[in-house]
Amino acid sequence: MKIDREWGRLKNVVMHSPGNEVTYALFAPKHFLFERPFKYSMAVREHENLVNVLRENGVHVDILKDIVIKKSEDDKNFRKKLEDIALSKINFSGNQRAALEARNYLEKNIDHIDSESLFNAILMKFSINLDNYINSLKYPTVDSNLPLANLYFMRDQQAVSSGILMGRMRMRQRDAEPEIMEFIFKDIYNENVNKINDGFFEGGDFIPAGDFALIGTGNRTDITGAIEAIGSGVIDFDEIMIVRNPAYEFSDASNVMINMHLDTYFNIAGDGLAITSVHLAKLAHGDVYVKTGDGYKKDHETNLYDYIKSKEFNVIDLDVGEQIAYSSNFLTLDDRKIIAVDSRKVLKKLIETNALDSYTKNIAIHDMENSGRMFPDSKKVFDAGIDVIKIDLSEITGGYGGAHCMTCSLNRD
C-alpha cells in the first residue's frame, strides 16, 4: 500500500457502510460529533451511490463488513480473533451471579453466533444489565456503550503513504476505531503497521503532494502527533509542512469542528492545482520541516497559501458558503478528476437544520444567493479543466464529512 500524491490514479479504497450504530447519533448529533440530524435511509442510499460511482470509475472498493465476514468464513484463526474482540466489547453487569453465568454461557457458545452479528457487536459495544425480576428470572436492560457512529468516516483512523500509520484519535467517541482498523490491516490485508503512541493524529489531517506533504494540527491532530508521524518512517517526503488549522474570525468559539481537519478546507484536485479557502489558507500558519540524513529539521515558518504558491500550485478559491458545505472534501480519482458533493444542496441542509450560528448562517445565505453557480459547478472549476463527478451526499454529510472523509485510500499510481 503506497500513496505519495493526492492526484495519482486511485486504485483501491476500503469503506464502511453506515449501520444501526449511526441511528443513535441522529438523536443527539452534536454529542456524537455529528453536525446535524439526517435521514438515515437516504444517507445509506447516498453511501451506496458513492460506492457504485467509485466502482464505475475503476476503483476497487472493499466494504468493511463484507471483507470481515468473508475472511471469517475462510480463516478459522481470524474467526477466533473476531470472537475474542467481540467478547472484549460486550459487558455484563447487575446481579453478579447472573452476569457471570451469562458471560460464561456466551463464551462457550460464541462459535454459534454468525460473523455479521459479531461485527455488529463490536461496533455497538453492548452493555447488558441483568437485574432481579421475578423469582429466578432476570430482566435484561441493554445499552450501547458509545457505539462507533463515526466509523464510516474511514479517512481518519490511519494515514497511508509509504505503508500504514495507525492514528490515535483525540475524541473518546472515536478512540476505539484505530484498534479495529489495525486488526483489519494486519489480519485481512496482511500489512505491517506503524502506530502513533504519544500524540494524537488523524488521517483527515494528512495530504501527500509528491515531493512534499501537509499535516494539519488543531482540534484533532496535535503537534506531538504530527512530529511523531514525520518521524515514523511512513510519511517520507523531501519537505513536510505542519499547519495550524485556522478558524474564521467570526466563528462561534464553541464551534471547534468547522475546520477540524485539513481536508475540510484544503484539498488537491490535480498536479499543481489546489482548492481551498484562500482566506483560511492565509491564516493557516505553520512550520516547514526539511528532510535531513537522520530525520527532519525545522526550516522556516510560513502560511499554507504562500507555501502552496511557492510550489507553483494554482489555487481555486472557495467562499465561506462553499467551504462549510464540504466543497474541499472531494475525492480525487486521477489528475484533475474528482468526486465532489453538491455544495448547494448541503448548504441548504445546514440552513434548514439550524446547524450554523446566526452570523455564519447569514454569510452562507448571502453566498448562496450571490455567488451564482457554486462549487463544483462554478466557472473557475470549469476553466481549470477539472472533470467533476457531482453526487448528492446532502444527508450523509450531516455526520461532518464528504467523499474524502468517507474513503480510506489504499493505493494510487
pLDDT at 22: 97
Q: Is residue 4 part of a domain?
A: no
- Predicted local distance difference test score (pLDDT) of residue 291: 97
* Containing structural domain, residue 72: 68-131
At residue 256, the pLDDT reads: 61
Same domain, 340 and 250: yes
Is the same domain home to 195 and 236?
yes
What band does 136 get if pLDDT is binned at 50, 70 and 90? low
Other CB atoms within a 10 A radius of the CB of residue 42 amount to 13
Domain with residue 326: its CATH number is: 3.75.10.10
- Domain membership of residue 389 (yes or no) is yes
Mean pLDDT score, 146-175 = 97
Query: Are 331 and 380 part of one and the same domain?
Result: yes
Q: Tell me whether residue 143 is in a domain.
A: no
Q: Kindly state the cell numbers that stand for 95.
A: 446481579
Last residue of a domain, one of 131, 163, 184: 131
State the Cα–Cα distance between residues 82 and 189, nearest whole angstrom: 15
3-class SS of residue 154: coil
Q: Which tens digit of pLDDT belongs to each residue from 234-289?
A: 999 999 999 999 999 887 655 666 789 999 999 999 999 999 999 999 999 999 99
State residue 150's pLDDT score: 98
Q: Do 228 and 162 belong to one domain?
A: yes
- In a shared domain, residues 179 and 35: yes
Same domain, yes or no: 378 and 330: yes
Residue 134, pLDDT score? 59
Indicate whether 136 belongs to any domain: no
321-346 mean pLDDT: 98
pLDDT reading at 89 higher than 80:
yes
Residue 148 has pLDDT above 90, yes or no: yes
Give pLDDT, residue 368. Answer: 86
The whole-number pLDDT of residue 133 equals 61
Question: What pLDDT does 5 receive?
Answer: 99
Mean pLDDT of 396-402: 97
In 83-157, at which residue ranges do the beta strands (DSSP E only) sit?
91-94, 126-132, 138-144
The 10s digit of each residue's pLDDT in 172-225 is 999 999 999 999 999 999 999 999 999 999 999 999 999 999 999 999 999 999
Q: What is the mean pLDDT of residues 67-74?
A: 98
Q: How far apart are CA 264 and CA 349, in angstroms?
A: 17
Domain count, the chain: 2
Q: Are 104 and 199 in a shared domain?
A: no
Q: What pLDDT does residue 135 have? A: 62
Query: How many angstroms separate the first and last alpha carbons of the chain?
Result: 10
Q: What is the mean pLDDT of the chain?
A: 95
56 & 75 share domain: no
* 61 and 72 assigned to the same domain: no
Are both 364 and 402 inside the same structural domain?
yes
Q: Would the pLDDT of 371 be above 80?
A: no
pLDDT of residue 226: 99
Indicate whether 225 belongs to any domain.
yes
Q: pLDDT tens digit string along 292-320?
A: 988 999 999 999 999 999 999 999 999 99
- Asked if residue 205 is part of any domain, the answer here is yes
Query: 142 pLDDT band (50/70/90 cuts)?
Result: confident
Confidence at 9, pLDDT banded by 50, 70, 90: very high
Residue 144 lies in a domain: no
pTM above 0.85, yes or no: yes
Q: Looking at the domain assignment, is residue 233 inside a domain?
A: yes
113 & 201 share domain = no
Degrees to nearest 5, angle at CA 240 with 237 and 245: 145
H helices present in 203-277, as ranges: 223-230
Among residues 97, 131, 165, the one where a domain terminates is 131
What is the secondary structure of 328-393 as a DSSP string? T--EEEETTEEEEE-HHHHHHHHHHTT-S-HHHHHHHHHHHHHSSSPTTSSHHHHHTT-EEEEE--
Whether residue 231 is found in the same domain as residue 311: yes
- Quick one: pLDDT at residue 257? 65
pLDDT at 18 over 70: yes
3-state secondary structure of 126: strand
Q: How wide is the angle at C-alpha 64 spanned by C-alphas 60 and 68, nearest 5°?
A: 115
User: Given a cut of 80, is residue 138 above it in pLDDT?
Assistant: no
